Structure 1
Amino acid sequence: MGDRPVIIVTGAGRGIGAAIAIKAAEAGYDVVINYAGNAEAAKQTSATCEAAGAKAITVQADVAKQEGVETVFKASDEAFGRLDAVVTNAGITGVSSKLVDADPEMIERVIDLNVTGALLTAREGAARMMTSRGGKGGNIVNLSSASVWIGSPNDFVWYATSKGSIDVLTLGLSRELAGEGIRVNAVAPGLIDTEIHASAGIPDRIARLGSSVPIGRAGTAEEVADAVLYLMSEQASYVTGTVLKVAGGR
């Protein structure tokens, strides 16, 4: 077991997940980078983490399924032998539309990854970090969304629904694990400039909506990552069960 703390970040090949992995590496963590399919992006994230002085591994797995989650945690166990933090970042929006026009199979996939995947990932992380089971405590940070209080009408009502579940997970699990040395919090990003908008079929979304944010612009993945690192830090030692908005006033 090394001296550096270890963090698992799901969906860390690019976007917000990659920014979290890199910021964690810069803060002194060794990093487990889970990704779904883009091996090249994950490799680039890993290289950036290693350039910051971290040991980093990449693990391809679909964390919507228990076997995928087990693959990630087994790889982490074998590489590092310890676990200090988990970020349940993996998530998708699906293709933008009204709910009545949305593909039911797409909706199911979003719920499977965003909700079931987060539950299963948090479950495995908790089992390793709980003091009553031999762990040393640690942090779980979930990725919520501004869509929870906006509702995302005409775009992603199903996605907003999935992220509402993340807020409930954060509240319930924080209380369940408070006596186990584990703090559980969430970050709720607003309009963030990443590739997720193009993937949803609305590549002009940032240009169209950025000026409507009270602060006057879209946010960056790095700004979200800074909030995640704060919640994992000793400066947030009395913070648990909290959803921190990073949304520019939306």
Structure 2
Amino acid sequence: MAQPVTVILGLGREVGDAVARRFSKFGHHVVAADPSDDRIAASRKAVPDEVLLHHGELHTRLGLRNALTVAVEAFGRVDNLIVIPDIEAADSLEDFAQEKFDKAVAKATRGAALALKVFSERISEQEDLPESGVERIRQKGAVTFVLSYSAMATMPGRFTETITQSAVLGVIKAGAVELAEHQIRVNGIIAIRPREERIESWTTRRTPLGRAAIADEIADAARYLSSPEAAIVTGELLKLDGGRSNLAGILD
């Protein structure tokens, strides 16, 4: 059976490494790209040797094409795309600076839309992978965005993060409809990240399960949404919030 190829755009602090490990474990060729030298260096120690790491810009057409080229030249195709947008630094409306804000919003929305554009063009034109085992509904590929909980709910001090993360939700919805005719699915994962549990001491009191999602759980969710088992799922958001969105108030 031919190996599918998965590209990860953005490594984050822990999640990108976990996604790379999980897809590699399940037989995917993996390319992981990030604009940060430090994150690339850290990932070299955290992911299997067979994962290709690419250092480059991910918010311009040229940068995204370069990442795509790395995957195609190495493995001949791309089947899945996992996008992990940067999380903006804490700020408030009182801190608002128009130029900085404009750059952050443009970076988030343009980067997400360009990623869909550049990679979907390649996915839609390539031959399908050979099927084996149980016949499933045909799918050309899948795109999954991994977002922070601020995409769905906010709190003081996360002004720009909330706006930029929630803006990507529009890209997911519109992209899912636009690309459905090409059998390319677009979904999102909204997760309470491990970093929030470390930063906010009251996370456990606002979450029925008492903790944030761990990176491996986010990776498992991304693998499911990219798999043939999720062939009917598009335009959806998978929440990994430990029940927080169903809770009114806090737990004693």
TM-score normalized by the length of structure 2: 0.83
Aligned partner of 2:76: which letter? Answer: G
Deviation (angstroms), 1:114? 2.5
Structure-2 change in CA distance of 1:236 and 1:204 (3 Å) = closer
**In the alignment, is the contact (CA less than 8 A) between 1:14 and 1:42 conserved in 2?**
no
Structure-2 change in CA distance of 1:236 and 1:91 (3 Å) = same
Structure 1 gap ranges (5+): 198-202
Question: Match for residue 243 of structure 2?
Answer: 249
Deviation (angstroms), 1:77? 1.6
Aligned partner of 1:142: which letter? Answer: F
Question: Match for residue 200 of structure 1?
Answer: none
Structure-2 change in CA distance of 1:25 and 1:109 (3 Å) = farther
Q: Secondary structure at 2:201's aligned position in 1?
A: helix
Question: Match for residue 155 of structure 2?
Answer: 153
Could you list the per-position Cα deviations for residues 37-94 of structure 1 after superposition, in whole angstroms to 9, with x for gaps in the alignment? 223113124xx333xxxx3211111212222212211111211111100011131222
Where do 1:192-203 residues align within 5 Å? 192-194=193-195
TM-score normalized by the length of structure 1: 0.84
Q: Which runs of 4+ in 1 moved over 6 A?
A: none
Deviation (angstroms), 1:109? 4.1
**Percent identity between the two aligned chains:** 25
**In the alignment, is the contact (CA less than 8 A) between 2:12 and 2:86 conserved in 1?**
no
- Which range moved further: 162-171 or 79-88? 162-171
Q: Secondary structure at 1:49's aligned position in 2?
A: coil
Question: Match for residue 3 of structure 2?
Answer: 4
Aligned partner of 2:5: which letter? Answer: V
CA distance in 1, matches of 2:25, 2:93: 41
Question: Match for residue 164 of structure 1?
Answer: 166
Where do 1:20-35 residues align within 5 Å? 20-35=19-34
**In the alignment, is the contact (CA less than 8 A) between 2:20 and 2:51 conserved in 1?**
no
Q: Secondary structure at 1:93's aligned position in 2?
A: coil
Number of positions where the alignment pairs a residue of Structure 1 with one of Structure 2: 231
Question: Match for residue 95 of structure 2?
Answer: 101
Question: Match for residue 190 of structure 2?
Answer: 188
CA distance in 1, matches of 2:205, 2:69: 44
Deviation (angstroms), 1:204? 5.1
Could you list the per-position Cα deviations for residues 147-186 of structure 1 after superposition, in whole angstroms to 9, with x for gaps in the alignment? 1331x23222222112222211111111111121211111
Structure-2 change in CA distance of 1:209 and 1:218 (3 Å) = same
Question: Match for residue 208 of structure 2?
Answer: 214
Residue 41 (str. 1) matches residue 42 (str. 2):
yes
Deviation (angstroms), 1:108? 3.6
